[in-house]
C-alpha cells in the first residue's frame, strides 16, 4: 500500500447519528455538501458494525455506484460499501472520499475511495450486522441557502 | 373408451359412435336392450322408439327397472354403465367359455403338475382338523383367530418369524417393543364417523398406512446412508474463520 | 394515505372474539379482502398503542403501524382469504413481521413480493434433542457453552469454518440439505424431520447474482448476529404428552439444543436484488400498491419467477447453514461428553422456516386452490394427517418451533385442523420486538441484564456487548402471551415449553 504514504489520512469529523426505530436503525448524516453527507452516511454504517477508533488505515479500495435519481444513488452507494465489507476484501472503513460525484444527466454516478483495513476478529469489536439497505423513509434534504445537506436512511439489521 | 367394449359386444359401426350426440346415445341404448340386456319383452320396449317425444321418460323408467345408479342425464358415464351392464350379462351367459382363457387357468395348465412329496402341500385347508389346529397354535401365541384359518396362520407365521428367530431368542430385549402404547382411540382426532366400530376400523387403517409409510421412509434413509458411505467426508478448518474468544 | 383520527380509525376495527380482530375493508384504500389479527388483552394494548402513536399529528416514522401494513397487504392483487396478522406482529419493511397472505397462483394478476418474505430468507429454527438431563449438564454448563462458542462462528464479520469453493456453493444452492447429506455433515434422519425435506426443488443458482454468491460464500456455516442464537435448553413443561413422546421428549429436564439462524448475507443480497428488479417491474406491469415498500411482480412474470427461483436457492442456503451448525453443535457435545452424537441421541426434532413463500394447496370456500403463501415472521403449522408433514408426526400434527429471546422460554407447538381453516396453516414465529434497539440500549444497563441472566442460571457467550441490551427480554413482546394467544385461538396447540440454560449469540 505504497500509495497510502502520499495521502491525507486525517479522519473527517463525525457528522452523523443513529435514530430510533422499532426493529431497525435509522442513519442520519449531514455536511456542508451533499457529497459530504453521503460520505458521512457511509461512515455511519461502518460505525454500526464496529468501534471505528480500532480501525487503522492500511488499505484503500475504490468503488463505483450509479443510480437514476439521488435516492437510488445513495442506496447503491451504501450497498456497494456493505458489499466491500461482506466479502473479499472484508474492508472496514473509517474514511471515505468521494472523488467523483455526478448528479446530473441520465445516470448519476459516484466514485469513492474507501480507506480502512480488513475486518479482523479480536482486533475489531463486533457490533451489529447490517443485513440490507432500504428505501423506507429515505430522505435527502438539500438546502444550499443554509448550506445544509442531510440524508436519512433506514438499514435493516 | 367404450369403443373397445362396443366392439366386444359386436355393435355395428362401433367406431363411429359419438356419445355426446343424443340421437346416437338413444340408438346405442335401444340396441343394447334389444340385443343384449333384454329386460323387457320384445313386443313391449318403449325405449326402442328412439324418435318418440316420450323417450326420455321411458329411459328414466328403464333406468329404474335395471337399477342404474348413475344420476346424471344422458351423459357418457350413463352410457358407460349400460355398456358395462351389457358386458356383464354377456360374460355371465358364456362364463365357462371365457374362464378357459382366464389367467388362473392359463397359469395352471402351463405349469407341469408336480406330485408333492412335502406333506404340507397335501394339507386340506378347508378341513375342520386344519382349522382347529391353527386355532390351537394361535391360542398358544395369544393371537385372536380370524374366521379364515389361512389368515390366522399368516399372523402366526409373522409372529414366529419376527420374535422366535435365532437372534430374537438370543437377545430378546432387542426385539421386544418398549415404551407406552399409543392411545390411538383417544389421541387420533378428526374421525367423527358416528359408528364406534367403523371409527375404530378407520383409525386402525390409518395406523397401518402410517406404518407402511414409516417402512418406506426407513428404506429411503437406508439408501441415503449407503450413498453417504461413498461420498461423505465432512471436514472443518478453523484457520478459515475465528471462533470463540 | 387517508388521514383520520385515532377514534375514526377504530371504527374500521372490530373485535370478533377474545383473540381475534377484524380489519374492515376501507381501513386502507383498495382492500380486496378483509384483514385480521390475533391478540390477547396484553398484546391488543401494544397493537392499538402503535396505531394511536401513528395517528398523532406530525408522525413521519419509517414504517407504518403493523395494523396498517396488514391492511395494505389486503390491497395487493390476487390475494385470497384474509391478510392475517399473528400475535407477534410488528411493523417491518413492506409487510409487517408476523403477517401471512396467500395469492391465487391461477389468477394472472396475483403477485409475489420479496417484502412478504423479508431480507433474511428462510430464517428459521431447528431443535435437536439429546438423551442428557439437566443434572448431567449443569456441572459442565460453562464449559459446554464455551465449547459451543468455540465451534460455531458468530457475530459480524465471522467466517465459516467448513471449507467451500464457488462450485461447492452452487451445488449447495441447488441441493439444499441433500448437499450436507452428500458431504456427510448431517444424518439421513435429519432430512426427514425438516420442512420441505430441507430442499426447495425449484432453486436455480443461475438466477442469483454474483454479488449474492460472493457475500454468501464466506458466511456459510455462521450463526449471524441480531436475534439469531444457539441455545442449550431444558424441557420445562410438557402440555401434550403424546405429541412430545413422538418427538422423543420423555420428561421434564431433558436437554435440547435450539439453533435460530437464516440465509445470512446471501439471502439479504437476493432480497435486495429482487427489490431493485421489482421496482422496475411494477412500473412496467402497472401494478398499483398502497406502499412503495410493497414492491412486487406478477407470479408468472419473468421477475416473479426469477425471484421465486433465487429465493428457493437462498432457502437451500439456510438449510445447509443450519445443517452445518447442527454438525458443529454435535461435535461440541461429543467432545464435552466424550460420547458420539449418535449415543447422545442428538436427533433433529424438526426444522421450520418463518420467512418464506411457498406454493401450497389449500381449500378456499370449500374448493381446492393452488396458492402462493407468503409467511413473514410466521411459521407453517400443518395439521395431523397432512401429506406434507413427516410420517413420525402424522398423528400429532407438524411441530412448530417458537424461539424465545435471550433469557426467555421457547415453545414447541403442533399444527391443527382449525389453523388450516383460519390461517392457511400458519401460526406465530417468536416474540416480536416491542422496544426499539436504541430505546433498549438507553433503558437497560449491560451489567444489569447480565446479572439478571446469571440469576436465572443462564450462561451467556455473546460477540457484541451492545446486543445484550438490544436483545434483552424486556425489548420483546412476551413470548408466552404470543403462544397462549395462538393456543387459545386454536391455530396451534401448545406441546412443550423449553427454558434456556446457555445462550450463544452474535
Residues of chain C that touch chain B, judged by Cβ-Cβ distance less than 8 Å: 146, 149-154, 158-163, 181-185, 188-189, 191-192, 218, 222, 242, 245, 327-328, 331, 384-385, 390-392, 394-395, 417, 461, 463
Any chains having at least 3 CB pairs less than 8 A from chain B are A, C
CA distance to partner chain B, nearest, from residue C162 (Å): 5
| C219 CB within 8 Å of a chain A CB | yes
* pLDDT at residue number C435: 78
Q: Read off the C-alpha cell for C204.
A: 436455480
Q: What is the distance between the alpha carbons of residues C395 and C417, in angstroms, rounded to a whole number?
A: 12
Q: What SS3 state is found at C176?
A: coil
What is the pLDDT, as a whole number, of residue C107?
Answer: 96
Does residue C123 have a known ligand-binding role?
Answer: yes
Please name the member of A19, A119, A132 whose beta carbon is closest to the beta carbon of C268.
A132
Residue C193 has pLDDT above 80, yes or no: yes
ipTM above 0.85, yes or no: yes
Which chain C residues have a beta carbon less than 8 Å from that of B220? Answer: 188, 192
Please, what is the average pLDDT of chain C?
93
Span A22-72, pLDDT tens digits: 667 899 999 999 999 999 999 999 999 999 999 999 999 999 999 989 999
pLDDT at A5 over 90: no
SS3 B164: coil
Phi, psi of A97 (to 5 degrees): -125, 115
Taking the C-alpha atoms of residue C397 and residue B22, their distance in angstroms, rounded to an integer, is 51
| Average pLDDT of the residues in B45-74 | 85
Question: What whole-number distance in Å separates Cα of residue B25 and Cα of residue B6?
Answer: 13
Predicted local distance difference test score (pLDDT) of residue A22: 66
Q: Where are the domains of chain A?
A: 17-156
Residue in chain C nearest B240 by alpha carbon: C161
Q: Phi and psi of C269, rounded to 5°? A: -75, -40
Mean pLDDT of C324-339: 96
Question: With the C-alpha atoms ordered C177, C178, C184, C189, is the resulting torsion angle positive or negative?
Answer: positive
Share of chain C above pLDDT 70, in %: 98
With an 8 Å Cβ cutoff, are A85 and C463 in contact?
no
For C245, list phi and psi in degrees, rounded to 5. -60, -40
Q: C227: annotated binding-site residue?
A: yes
CATH topology of domain A17-156: Archease, Possible Chaperone; Chain: A; domain 1 (3.55.10)
Structure confidence at residue C2 (pLDDT): 54
d(CA C410, CA C260): 11
Cα angle C62, C63, C67; round to 5: 160
List, in sequence order, the alpha helices (H) in C286-406: 302-337
Selected catalytic residue, list C90, C193, C268, C429: C429
B contacts of C151 (beta carbons < 8 Å): 243-244
Please classify residue C410 by burial: count the beta carbons closer than 10 Å to its beta carbon, then call 0-12 exposed, 13-18 middle and 19+ buried: buried
pTM over 0.90: no
CA of B135 vs chain C CAs: smallest distance (Å): 34
**A71 Cβ contact partners less than 8 Å away, ≥ 6 residues apart:** A135, A138, A140
Compute the Cα dihedral for A124, A129, A135, A140 and give only its sign.
Answer: negative
Give the confidence band of A114 by pLDDT, cuts at 50, 70, 90. Answer: very high
B188/C386: higher pLDDT: C386
- pLDDT per position as a tens digit, C459-480: 999 888 778 888 888 888 889 9
C298 an active-site residue? Answer: no
Contact yes or no for C157 and A119 at CB 8 A:
yes
Q: For position B169, what pLDDT does the model report? A: 85
**C-chain residues within 8 Å CB-CB of A156?**
93, 119, 268
pLDDT surpasses 50 at C70: yes
* Contact between C400 and C387 (Cβ < 8 Å): no
Q: How far does the CA of residue B193 sit from the closest CA of chain A (Å)? A: 49
Predicted local distance difference test score (pLDDT) of residue C71: 97
Bigger pLDDT: C4 or C33? C33
Say yes or no to pLDDT of B190 above 60.
yes
Question: pLDDT, tens digit, for every residue of C94-128?
Answer: 899 999 999 999 999 999 999 999 999 999 999 99
Chain A contacts in chain B segment 116-145 (CB below 8 A): none
Q: Which grid cell is C327? A: 454438525
Give yes or no for residue A2 having a pLDDT over 50: no
Interface residues of A toward B, Cβ cutoff 8 Å, are 121-122
State how far the Cα of B199 lies from the Cα of B206, in Å rounded to an integer: 11
| Chain C, window 279-298: residues with a beta carbon less than 8 angstroms from a chain A beta carbon | 292-293
Sheet of A59-67, strand order? A59-67, A108-118, A91-102
Highest mean pLDDT among B237-241, C157-161, C220-224, C252-256: C252-256
DSSP calls for B70-132: --SSS-HHHHHHHHHHHHHHHHHHTHHHHHTTSHHHHHHHHS--PPP-SGGGG--TTSHHHHH
Partner A contacted by B178 (CB < 8 A): no
Q: Do C242 and B182 touch (CB under 8 A)?
A: yes
Alpha carbon C393 to chain centroid, angstroms: 20
Residue C1 has pLDDT above 70, yes or no: no
Contacts of C275 in chain A (CB under 8 A): 135
Q: Tell me the average pLDDT of chain A.
A: 91
Q: Contact at 8 Å (CB) between C245 and C410?
A: no
Closest partner CB to A136 (pick from C269, C271, C293): C293
pLDDT at C192 over 70: yes
Dihedral sign of CA atoms B165, B169, B173, B176 in order: positive
| Mean pLDDT of all residues in C327-333 | 96
Encode pLDDT of C351-396 as tens digits: 999 999 999 999 999 999 999 999 999 999 999 999 999 999 999 9
pLDDT > 70: percent of chain A: 94
Amino acid at each position: 500500500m505504497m500509495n497510502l504514504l502520499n495521502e491525507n489520512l486525517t479522519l473527517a469529523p463525525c457528522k452523523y447519528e443513529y435514530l430510533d426505530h422499532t426493529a431497525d436503525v435509522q442513519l442520519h448524516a449531514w455536511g456542508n455538501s451533499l457529497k459530504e453527507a453521503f460520505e458521512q452516511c457511509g461512515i455511519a454504517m461502518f460505525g454500526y458494525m464496529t468501534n471505528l477508533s480500532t480501525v487503522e488505515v492500511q488499505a484503500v479500495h475504490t468503488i463505483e455506484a450509479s443510480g437514476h435519481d439521488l435516492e437510488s444513488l445513495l442506496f447503491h452507494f451504501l450497498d456497494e460499501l456493505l458489499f466491500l465489507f461482506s466479502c473479499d476484501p472484508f474492508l472496514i472503513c473509517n474514511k471515505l472520499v468521494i472523488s467523483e460525484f455526478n448528479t446530473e444527466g441520465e445516470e448519476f454516478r459516484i466514485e469513492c475511495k474507501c480507506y480502512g483495513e480488513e475486518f479482523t476478529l479480536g482486533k475489531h469489536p463486533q457490533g451489529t450486522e447490517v443485513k440490507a439497505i432500504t428505501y423506507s423513509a429515505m430522505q435527502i434534504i438539500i438546502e444550499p441557502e443554509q448550506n445544509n445537506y442531510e440524508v436519512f436512511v433506514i438499514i435493516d439489521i | 373408451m367404450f369403443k373397445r367394449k362396443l366392439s366386444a359386444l359386436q355393435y355395428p359401426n362401433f367406431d363411429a359412435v359419438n356419445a355426446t350426440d343424443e340421437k346416437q346415445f338413444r340408438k346405442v341404448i335401444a340396441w343394447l336392450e334389444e340385443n343384449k340386456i333384454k329386460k323387457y319383452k320384445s313386443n313391449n320396449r318403449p325405449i326402442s322408439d328412439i324418435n318418440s317425444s316420450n323417450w326420455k321418460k321411458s329411459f328414466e323408467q328403464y333406468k329404474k327397472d335395471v337399477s342404474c345408479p348413475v344420476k346424471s342425464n344422458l351423459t357418457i358415464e350413463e352410457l358407460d354403465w349400460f355398456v358395462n351392464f351389457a358386458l356383464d350379462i354377456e360374460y355371465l351367459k358364456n362364463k365357462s367359455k371365457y374362464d378357459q382363457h382366464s389367467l388362473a387357468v392359463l397359469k395352471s395348465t402351463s405349469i407341469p403338475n408336480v406330485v408333492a412329496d412335502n406333506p404340507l402341500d397335501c394339507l386340506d385347508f378347508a378341513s375342520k382338523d386344519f382349522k382347529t389346529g391353527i386355532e390351537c397354535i394361535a391360542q398358544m401365541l395369544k393371537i385372536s383367530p380370524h374366521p379364515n384359518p389361512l389368515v390366522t396362520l399368516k399372523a402366526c407365521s409373522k409372529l414366529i418369524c419376527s420374535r422366535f428367530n435365532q437372534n430374537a431368542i438370543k437377545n430378546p430385549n432387542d426385539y421386544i417393543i418398549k415404551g407406552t402404547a399409543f392411545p390411538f382411540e383417544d389421541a387420533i382426532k378428526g374421525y367423527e364417523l358416528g359408528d364406534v366400530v367403523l371409527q375404530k376400523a378407520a383409525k386402525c387403517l390409518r395406523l397401518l398406512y402410517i406404518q407402511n409409510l414409516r417402512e418406506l421412509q426407513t428404506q429411503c434413509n437406508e439408501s441415503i446412508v449407503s450413498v453417504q458411505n461413498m461420498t461423505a467426508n465432512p471436514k472443518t478448518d478453523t484457520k478459515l474463520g475465528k471462533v470463540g474468544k | 394515505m387517508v388521514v383520520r383520527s385515532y377514534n375514526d380509525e377504530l371504527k374500521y376495527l372490530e373485535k370478533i372474539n377474545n383473540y381475534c380482530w377484524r380489519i374492515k375493508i376501507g381501513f386502507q384504500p383498495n382492500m380486496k379482502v378483509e384483514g385480521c389479527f390475533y391478540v390477547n388483552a396484553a398484546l391488543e394494548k401494544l397493537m392499538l398503542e402503535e396505531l394511536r402513536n401513528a395517528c398523532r399529528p406530525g408522525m413521519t416514522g419509517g414504517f407504518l403501524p403493523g395494523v396498517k401494513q396488514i391492511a395494505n397487504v389486503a390491497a395487493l392483487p390476487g390475494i385470497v382469504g384474509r391478510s392475517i396478522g399473528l400475535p407477534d406482529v410488528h411493523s417491518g419493511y413492506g409487510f409487517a413481521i408476523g403477517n401471512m397472505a396467500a395469492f391465487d397462483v391461477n389468477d394472472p394478476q396475483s403477485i409475489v413480493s420479496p417484502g412478504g418474505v423479508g431480507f433474511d430468507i428462510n430464517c428459521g429454527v431447528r431443535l435437536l434433542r439429546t438423551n442428557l438431563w439437566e443434572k448431567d449438564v449443569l456441572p459442565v454448563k460453562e464449559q459446554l457453552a464455551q465449547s459451543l462458542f468455540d465451534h460455531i462462528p458468530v457475530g459480524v464479520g465471522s467466517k465459516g469454518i467448513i471449507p467451500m469453493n464457488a462450485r461447492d456453493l452452487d451445488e449447495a444452492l441447488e441441493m439444499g440439505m441433500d448437499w450436507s447429506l452428500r458431504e456427510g455433515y448431517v444424518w439421513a434422519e435429519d432430512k426427514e424431520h425438516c420442512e420441505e425435506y430441507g430442499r426447495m426443488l425449484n432453486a436455480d443458482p443461475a438466477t442469483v447474482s454474483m454479488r449474492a454468491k460472493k457475500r454468501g460464500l464466506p458466511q456459510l456455516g455462521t450463526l449471524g448476529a441480531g436475534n439469531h442464537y444457539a441455545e442449550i435448553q431444558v424441557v420445562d413443561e410438557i402440555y401434550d404428552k403424546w405429541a412430545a413422546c413422538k418427538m422423543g421428549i420423555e420428561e421434564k429436564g431433558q436437554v435440547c439444543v435450539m439453533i435460530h439462524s437464516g440465509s445470512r448475507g446471501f439471502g439479504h443480497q437476493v432480497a435486495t436484488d429482487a427489490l431493485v428488479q421489482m421496482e422496475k417491474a411494477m412500473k412496467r406491469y402497472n401494478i398499483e400498491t398502497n406502499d412503495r415498500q410493497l414492491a412486487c411482480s406478477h407470479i408468472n412474470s419473468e421477475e416473479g419467477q426469477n425471484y421465486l427461483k433465487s429465493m428457493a436457492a437462498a432457502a437451500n442456503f439456510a438449510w445447509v447453514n443450519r445443517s452445518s451448525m447442527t454438525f458443529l453443535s454435535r461435535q461440541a457435545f461429543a467432545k464435552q461428553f466424550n460420547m458420539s452424537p449418535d449415543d447422545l441421541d442428538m436427533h433433529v426434532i424438526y426444522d421450520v422456516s418463518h420467512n418464506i413463500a411457498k406454493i401450497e394447496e389449500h381449500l378456499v370456500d370449500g374448493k381446492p386452490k393452488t396458492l402462493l403463501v407468503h409467511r413473514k415472521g410466521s411459521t407453517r403449522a400443518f395439521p395431523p394427517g397432512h401429506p406434507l408433514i413427516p410420517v413420525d408426526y402424522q398423528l400429532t400434527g407438524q411441530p412448530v418451533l417458537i424461539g424465545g429471546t435471550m433469557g426467555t422460554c421457547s415453545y414447541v407447538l403442533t399444527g391443527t385442523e382449525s389453523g388450516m381453516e383460519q390461517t392457511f396453516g400458519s401460526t406465530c414465529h417468536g416474540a416480536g420486538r416491542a422496544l426499539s434497539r436504541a430505546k433498549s440500549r438507553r433503558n437497560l444497563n449491560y451489567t444489569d441484564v447480565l446479572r439478571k441472566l446469571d440469576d436465572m442460571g443462564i450462561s451467556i457467550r455473546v460477540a457484541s456487548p451492545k446486543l445484550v441490551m438490544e436483545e434483552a427480554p424486556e425489548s420483546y413482546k412476551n413470548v408466552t402471551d404470543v403462544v397462549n394467544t395462538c393456543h387459545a385461538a386454536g391455530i396451534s396447540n401448545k406441546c412443550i415449553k423449553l427454558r434456556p440454560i446457555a445462550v450463544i449469540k452474535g
